[in-house]
Every structure is written in C-alpha cells, then in structure tokens.
Homo-oligomer: A and B are copies of this chain.
C-alpha cells in the first residue's frame, strides 16, 4: 500500500522543486536544518527539534529539477520510499507525495501520523510559496 497526499500551489513547478532541494529554503516550511542540497546520490541529515526530530537521514535517489524527487528514509522494516512529483496545471503546480510501501500488518497510528505530517508539510509549503508565511511549521502538536 502507498499513501498519497497532494496540494495545488499557485507557483511554477521549478519553485516548488527548489523549496525542497535548497537547504536554505526548506526551513521555511519543513525541517529546521538540512546539511546539503538534495541531489541524486547525496545523503542529507535533517532536524526538526520542534517535532522532537534531532537527526534523521534521507538518501536522495533522484532529484530531477522541476519534475521529481525520490528519497528513502528509515531502516529495515521501517524503511520507506518517498516520491514527490510536480505537475503543471492551469493554476499552478500540483505537488504530490507518495510514501510506501506499508506492510500488510502496518501500524495504524504510524499511518495516521504520516498522513497528518504530509498534509501539514504541503499546506506549510503552499503558505510559504504563495504568501511568504514561514511560521506555520511550528504549530502542529498531535505528534508531540
């Protein structure tokens, strides 16, 4: 099973792509710190102290400008692959995130938390790119 979340952002897909890949940009809507630019073959280290995340790594598999980002995180049975795609539509770009696979005996709370997390991150991304608001990311409490 895969989990899919998507949002419409009134910006072009290059801007949406860059927001994730530029380590000086991602802190405006998601992780506080990122150690390197997201590019294929790179492993980046991420922190989000406000969410209790102090050092996780993401292995970037693909980062095709304006098109697609693929990375893996987690280890062993908890390893997941995340695919982010950027599609041009009439009013901007649809950013779609797919994460998986989830095992048949998946942890239900984990899946709900992941759905909540992606919904929140994508909404924060929309606020940042469209309106320059970068303060939403500090507000989610359910996972604390």
Q: What is A's interface to B at a CB cutoff of 8 Å? A: 3-9, 94, 111-112, 115-116, 119-120, 123-124, 126-127, 130-131, 133, 135-136, 138-142
Contacts and interface: CB of A to CB of B under 8 A. Distances in A.
Contacts of A138: 8
Given A131-B131, A133-B131, A7 B140 contact: yes
Contacts of A119: 115-116, 119-120, 123, 140, 142
Contacts of A135: 130-131
A139 B9 contact: yes
Contacts of A140: 7-8, 119, 123
Contact of A7 (B4, B9, B111, B141): B141
A141 B5 CA distance: 8
Given A94-B141, A123-B139, 18 more contacts: A6-B141, A6-B142, A7-B140, A8-B138, A8-B140, A112-B112, A115-B115, A115-B119, A119-B120, A119-B123, A119-B140, A120-B123, A123-B123, A123-B136, A123-B140, A126-B139, A130-B136, A133-B133
